[in-house]
């Protein structure tokens, strides 16, 4: 005889954070959930959901592991663990919160859950470091563009990294821009970030930028058909990049030189199509960048390189 696990039973029987984490991992494994929206394992997902629900720091688990929860807390934690299973929605949608570089952002189903490698790169020595850098002096950057901004997170991170820059952020989705507007307001950078509705460079006319960053839709058609339920919860227009995933990347490569200053550069995340790009653009000197969990999924090209590669 199998016992049906319910949120009510969990709330009644479990007592500590350790109990709920063990229970969450067991139920997540049993449900065969998929991850990739800020966590990669059942344990990390359970930690994120439990600590956020309890309004505890998500990077400080140990001090609270054996803390006993109140009845109301147990109900809330059990409820969100079961919601993750029942809805198959990414945890950030259930919590309305996602983190990049430790900075929280509001998210809901109107935007893709932010998880760009560009965040890590912006906070690395590639911008203002002592050795090899893409931009030696971040304070010299006057204008930055974030294409396909979604929740606005990369535009906000750029405003932090380039303290003297005005940042333009563009998205084709009015719904996404509503979420970005909320995040920009919360960031304190409203005076430096301007949101634009439109298709890539169209609303910007002839403006030029020192740095363009973009994490455009880049999932190919075959992969779109195979997406797990968690990823299907995200807006399709924020994921789908055409037959091979690179339709929008090609448009950006074509148009970017007209919108870069003479010393400007393009930082683009595009997924796993490196071989396609190298074959299609043999004269472009792509600089492939590495992060903790990727290599060859983000490139940097200067305006000079883009023009030379035509």
Is the pLDDT assigned to residue 3 strictly greater than 60?
A: no
Mean pLDDT (whole number) for 169-192:
98
In this structure, whether the domain defined by 115-308 belongs to CATH 2.40.50.150 is answered with: no
Is the pLDDT assigned to residue 309 strictly greater than 90?
A: no
Give the side-chain half-sphere CA count within 13 A for 262. 0
Mean pLDDT (whole number) for 159-184:
98
Quick one: DSSP state of residue 70? P
Average pLDDT, the chain: 95
Token pair 């999932």 in the structure block, residue: 219
Burial of 66 (0-12, 13-18, 19+ CB in 10 A): exposed
- The full set of domain ranges for the chain reads 7-95, 115-308
Tell me which CATH code domain 7-95 carries. Answer: 1.10.8
Mean pLDDT (whole number) for 121-145:
94
Measured in whole angstroms, the distance separating CA 143 from the mean position of its chain's CA atoms is 22
pLDDT reported for residue 271: 87
Mean pLDDT (whole number) for 243-253:
96
* pTM, rounded to two decimals: 0.93
Q: Are 98 and 114 in contact (CB under 8 A)?
A: yes
- For CA atoms 84, 214, 123, 140, the dihedral sign is negative
pLDDT reported for residue 2: 42
Q: Which residue has the higher pLDDT, 272 or 260?
A: 260
Interval 35-90: pLDDT, tens: 999 999 999 999 999 999 999 999 999 999 999 999 999 999 999 999 999 999 99
């Amino acid at each position: 005889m199998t016992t049906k696990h319910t949120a009510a039973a969990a709330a009644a029987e479990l007592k500590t954070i350790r109990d709920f984490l063990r229970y969450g991992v067991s139920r997540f494994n049993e449900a065969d959930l998929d991850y990739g929206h800020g966590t990669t394992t059942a344990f990390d997902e359970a930690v994120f959901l439990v600590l956020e629900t309890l309004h505890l720091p998500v990077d400080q688990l140990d001090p609270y592991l054996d803390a006993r929860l109140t009845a109301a807390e147990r109900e809330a934690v059990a409820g969100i663990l079961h919601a993750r299973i029942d809805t198959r929605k990414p945890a950030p949608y259930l919590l309305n919160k996602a983190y990049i570089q430790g900075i929280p952002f509001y998210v809901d189903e109107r935007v893709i859950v932010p998880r760009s490698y560009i965040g890590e790169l912006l906070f690395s020595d590639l911008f203002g470091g002592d050795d090899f850098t893409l931009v030696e002096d971040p304070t010299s950057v006057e204008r930055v563009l974030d294409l396909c901004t979604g929740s606005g997170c990369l535009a906000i991170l750029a405003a932090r990294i380039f303290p003297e820059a005005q940042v333009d952020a563009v998205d084709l989705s009015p719904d996404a821009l509503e979420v970005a507007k909320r995040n920009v307001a919360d960031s304190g950078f409203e005076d430096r970030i301007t949101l634009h509705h439109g298709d890539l460079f169209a609303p910007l006319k002839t403006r030029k930028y020192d740095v363009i960053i973009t994490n455009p839709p880049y999932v190919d058609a075959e992969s779109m058909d195979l997406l797990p339920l968690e990823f299907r919860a995200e807006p399709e227009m924020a994921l789908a990049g055409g037959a091979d995933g690179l339709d929008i990347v090609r448009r950006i490569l074509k148009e970017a030189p007209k919108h870069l200053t003479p010393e400007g550069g393009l930082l683009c995340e595009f997924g796993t199509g490196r071989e396609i790009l190298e074959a299609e653009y043999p004269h472009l000197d792509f600089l492939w960048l590495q992060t903790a969990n990727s290599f060859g999924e983000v490139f940097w090209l200067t305006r000079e390189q883009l023009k030379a590669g035509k």
